[in-house]
Structure 1
Amino acid sequence: MSEVTNQPSAAPAAASSVEVNADRPPLYGRKVLSFVRRSARLDDRLQRAWDTYADRYLLDITAGEGSLDVRDDFRFDAGFVRDTWGNDHPLIIEIGSGQGENVVAAAAARPDVNFLALEVYDPGVAHTLLLAGKQGLANLRIAQVNAPELFKACDPGVAAEVWTFFPDPWPKMKHHKRRIVQLELACDVRRALADGGVWRIATDIEDYALHVHEVMDDADGFANVGTLTVSLPTAHVGKGNAETAVDLPHADFTESTRFDGRVLTNFEKKGLAAGRVIHDFTYRAV
C-alpha cells in the first residue's frame, strides 16, 4: 500500500456552522485512505498485458471508470465467488498485492484455492495481469479497488484468509492514522472471514509492528495465535527519530514464525539487506 489522500470536504455554509463544529477533529467527515492515487503511464509491455488479460482477470465491480469505490449495489458473497471462479473453493484475499509476485506464486502453487488480489496502482495491476496471464492461472482475479470499501461489501464468512504483507508504513507520526491496519478494517475483515480463518500480516518496520499489536491484540473476534516472543518499544517513534526507539521502555509481544506461504519478494529482500527484522502476525477469527 502507499500514501493517502483525503476527499475534499464541503466548505462551511455559514460562520455559525463553523462554531458548532469547532470541536470536531481535523479530518471529520473526510475519507482517510491508505494511499495516494497517482497517475502513471504504463510502458508498452504492461499496456499489452492490460489489453490482453484485463477482460479475463480484472473484476468489474467499481462505481465507475476511474473510481476505486465498490458500486453501491455490489455484494461480495458466495454466489459471486461461485460465478466468478466457477467453484466453491476457499478464497484468499490479499490487500495490497503490489507487483503480484506473492499472490501469483501462491495461486500457481495452490490451484485448489481461489485468490483475489486487491491493488490500486495501474503498474501493479498490470504486472499482476502479466504474471498471471503468462501462466494461464484460472484461480486468480484482481480488483482495482480501495480495500476497506471491498470488505464493507463482503458477506459473513466469504473468505478463508486475508493477507496484508508489507503495507505502507506511513512513518511520520502525524500519518500513523493512515496506516491500513485499523480497528474499523479489522471489524470488516472479521465479518468477511469464516470462523477459524486468519488474517496474516507482515511488516519490516518495528513501529508498524507495535501499531499492529495495538490494533489487533485486543480486537473483538480475533486471537493472536503466534508462538514467538519479541521485544518491542512501548511507545511510538516517527520518521527522523526512529533510532531513539532502542532507548525506550520495551515489553514482550507475541508474533508468528515466517509464513511459509509467502514468497521472498524483491521488496522483502531489500528490507533484509538493510538489516530490518521481519515481523509476522497470525490473527485467527474466533
Structure 2
Amino acid sequence: MQQDENTPIDGHGTDENVRGAQASADGRPALYGRKVLSFVRRSARLDARLQRAWDAYSDTYLLKINAGEGSLDVRDGFVFDQACIRETWGNGNPLIVEIGSGQGENVVAVAAAHPETNFLALEVYDPGVAHTMLLAGKQGLQNLRIAQVNAPELFKAAADGSIAEVWTFFPDPWPKMRHHKRRIVQPELASDIHRTLAEGGVWRIATDIEDYALHVHEVMDGLKDFHNDGTLTVSLPVEHVGKGNADEAAALRHADFVESERFDGRVLTNFEKKGLAANRVIHDFTYRRV
C-alpha cells in the first residue's frame, strides 16, 4: 500500500487497535483476540470526479466478495479458486495480485501493457479504489479487477496454487516500534502466500524504508519454503530504530544481506520518484516459492 495522502505512515488515528492495551476484567489485554491490521480504516469522502468514477465503473471492476456493507472481511464460504478466476476474468491466464495498490498508478499501467495477464488490486481506501477504477475505465481494461478487502483475508480464501505472483510495493512502514506488528509482511501472511502461489511463483516486495527492509529480511530469509532470488549485497543495521530515530541507525552494527535489482516490471510512480528525490534507497526483494 503506497504511502499517499490517504495512508497513515506513523500509526496515528482513532482505530482502537492502535491505542495502548488496557487490562480487562479477566486479566487479558483489552485487544486480546482482535485482528492486528496493517492499516487504519478512515472514512474519506469522494470528490465529484471520483464519485462519478465509482458510479460508472464499480460494477465492472469491483469484486463483490465482502462479508457485508462496510466490511473489509471476505464473506464466509467464498473460495478464490481457478473456477472463480475463470468466471471473473473470462480466461485462465496467470494472475498477479498487488497488495496495496494505492492510487492504481502501477497496476493499471502494467495491466495495460500486459493484456495476456490477469491482475487483482487489493486496496482498502475508497479514494484509491475509485482512482484505480477511473484509470482502468478510461482505457477500458478487461484484465484488471479490484477487491476492497483486508489482504490477509483474501489469501486465506485463495486456493492452493491459484496465483502466479504477489506484489507488495512500498507498504505502510509503521515506524513506531510498538507498531511493527502491524506491518503487512508477517510470517502468517507469508505462509498463506506460499500456499496460494503456483509452482515457481514469486512474492515481490519493495520499500524505501531501511528499517522495513530489515524487517522483511527477518521475516522472509529464514523461511525454508521461499528462496531469496536476489543477487545484490546490501549492508543494513541489525537492530531496529523507531520513529524519529532513523539517524541512529548509521552507528549501529551492520551486516550484509541479499536483495534484488530493481524490478523492471514496476512502473516508476510519483511516490517512488519522491523517495529517490529525497535520497532514500529503494530495497527490492524477490522471494520464490520452493
TMscore range, shorter length? over 0.9
Residue 164 of structure 1: SS of its match in structure 2?
strand
Structure 2 CA distance for aligned equivalents of residues 6 and 31 of structure 1: 11
Residue equivalent to 1:204: 208
Alignment partner of 1:124 out of 124, 128, 148 = 128
Alignment partner of 2:87 out of 83, 93, 108 = 83
Residue equivalent to 1:251: 255
1:102 aligns with 2:106: yes
Structure 2 CA distance for aligned equivalents of residues 284 and 151 of structure 1: 17
- Higher relative contact order, structure no. (Cα contacts within 8 Å, ≥ 6 residues apart): 2
**1:231-283 CA distance string (max 9 Å, x none):** 00000001111100000000000000000000000100110011100000000
Q: Give the letter for the 2:191 counterpart.
A: C
Structure 1 CA distance for aligned equivalents of residues 52 and 182 of structure 2: 34
Structure 2 CA distance for aligned equivalents of residues 62 and 235 of structure 1: 39
**1:39-93 CA distance string (max 9 Å, x none):** 1111111000000000000000000011000001100000000000000000000
Structure 1 CA distance for aligned equivalents of residues 172 and 289 of structure 2: 24
1:219 aligns with 2:237: no
Residue equivalent to 2:170: 166
Structure 2 CA distance for aligned equivalents of residues 174 and 75 of structure 1: 34
Residue equivalent to 2:187: 183
**1:180-201 CA distance string (max 9 Å, x none):** 0000100011111011000000
Structure 2 portions without partners, runs of 5+: 2-6
CA RMSD across the alignment: 1.7
> TM-score, normalization: structure 1?
0.94
Residue equivalent to 2:115: 111
Residue equivalent to 1:48: 52
Residue 218 of structure 1: SS of its match in structure 2?
coil
Structure 1 residue 27: Cα displacement: 4.3
Structure 2 CA distance for aligned equivalents of residues 67 and 189 of structure 1: 22
> TM-score, normalization: structure 2?
0.92
Residue 234 of structure 2: SS of its match in structure 1?
strand
**1:163-193 CA distance string (max 9 Å, x none):** 0000000011111111000001000111110
User: Percent of aligned positions with the same letter in both sequences?
Assistant: 77
Residue equivalent to 1:156: 160
Structure 1 residue 28: Cα displacement: 2.8
> CA contact under 8 A between 1:6 and 1:32: conserved in structure 2?
no
Residue 75 of structure 2: SS of its match in structure 1?
coil
Aligned length: 278
**1:11-48 CA distance string (max 9 Å, x none):** 95xx5x33xx4xxx674311100001111111111000
> CA contact under 8 A between 1:113 and 1:139: conserved in structure 2?
yes
> CA contact under 8 A between 1:228 and 1:254: conserved in structure 2?
yes
Structure 1 CA distance for aligned equivalents of residues 16 and 116 of structure 2: 39
> CA contact under 8 A between 1:161 and 1:199: conserved in structure 2?
yes
